Amino acid sequence: MTVWLAMLTLNTAQADEGMWLLQMMKEQHLTDKMKQQGLKLETDSLYNAEQPSLKDAVGIFGRGCTGEIISGEGLILTNHHCGYGAIQQHSSEENDYLANGFWAMNREEELPTPGLTFTFIEKIIDVTDSIRACINRKEITEYGSFSQVFLQRFADRQLASSNYHGQPGIEAQCLPFFAGNRYYLFYKKVYPDVRMVAAPPSSIGKFGGETDNWMWPRHTCDFSIFRIYADSIGEPAEYSDTNVPLKTPNHLTISLGDLQEGDYAMIMGFPGSTERFLTRSEVQQRMDCVNTPRIKIREARQTILKEAMAADHKVRIQYASKYAQSSNYWKNSIGMNKAIIDNKVREAKSKQEALFMTFADSCGNSEYQNVVDGIDETVKRSNSTVLLNTAFRETFMNAIEFGAPYAMMDSLKKALGQKDKAAVEKWTFAIRTAFYNIHNKDYNHEVDRKVAKALIPLYATLTKEMPDFYQTIEKKYKGDTDRYIDDLYNNSITSSEEKLEKFLKRPTIKAINRDLATAYSRAKWDFYRNVSKRMLPIKDELNLLHKTYVRGLCEMYAPTPKAPDANFTIRLTYGNIKTYSPRNGVQYDYYTTLEGVMEKEDSTNSDFIVPTKLKELYKKKEYGRYADANGQLPVCFITTNDITGGNSGSPVMNAYGQLIGTAFDGNWESLSGDINFDNGKQRCIVVDIRYILFILDKFGNCNHLIEEMTIAE
Based on the residue annotation, tell me whether 222 is a catalytic residue of this protein. Answer: yes
Measured in degrees and rounded to the nearest 5, phi and psi for residue 218 equal -120, 155
Cα separation, 160 vs 163, in Å, equals 8
Q: Which helix (H) or strand (E) holds 120?
A: strand 118-126
Structural contact between residues 228 and 246, judged by C-beta atoms closer than 8 angstroms: yes
Burial of 133 (0-12, 13-18, 19+ CB in 10 A): exposed
Among residues 648, 650, 670, 672, which one is catalytic?
648
Closest by CA to 311, choosing from 496, 495, 489, 447, is 447
Using CA atoms in the order 371, 374, 378, 379, what is the torsion angle rounded to 10 degrees?
Answer: 60
Closest by CA to 517, choosing from 364, 642, 372, 403, is 403
Structural contact between residues 637 and 591, judged by C-beta atoms closer than 8 angstroms: yes
Structural contact between residues 432 and 498, judged by C-beta atoms closer than 8 angstroms: no
Buried b / exposed e along 441-480 (16+ C-beta atoms within 10 A)? ebbbeebbbbbbbbbbebbbebbebbbebbebbeeeeeee
Based on the residue annotation, tell me whether 81 is a catalytic residue of this protein. Answer: yes
Cα separation, 228 vs 205, in Å, equals 22
Cα separation, 306 vs 319, in Å, equals 9
Among residues 222, 342, 448, 642, which one is catalytic?
222
Closest by CA to 117, choosing from 50, 186, 190, is 190
Structural contact between residues 103 and 613, judged by C-beta atoms closer than 8 angstroms: no
Structural contact between residues 654 and 660, judged by C-beta atoms closer than 8 angstroms: yes
Structural contact between residues 195 and 208, judged by C-beta atoms closer than 8 angstroms: no
Among residues 80, 81, 251, 439, which one is catalytic?
81
Cα separation, 548 vs 229, in Å, equals 46
Bridge-partner residues for 666, per DSSP? Answer: 684
Label each residue of 329-384 as H, E or C. Answer: HHHHHHHHHHHHHHCCHHHHHHHHHHHHHHHHHHHCCHHHHHHHHHHHHHHHHHHH
Based on the residue annotation, tell me whether 382 is a catalytic residue of this protein. Answer: no
Kindly list the catalytic residues.
Answer: 81, 222, 648
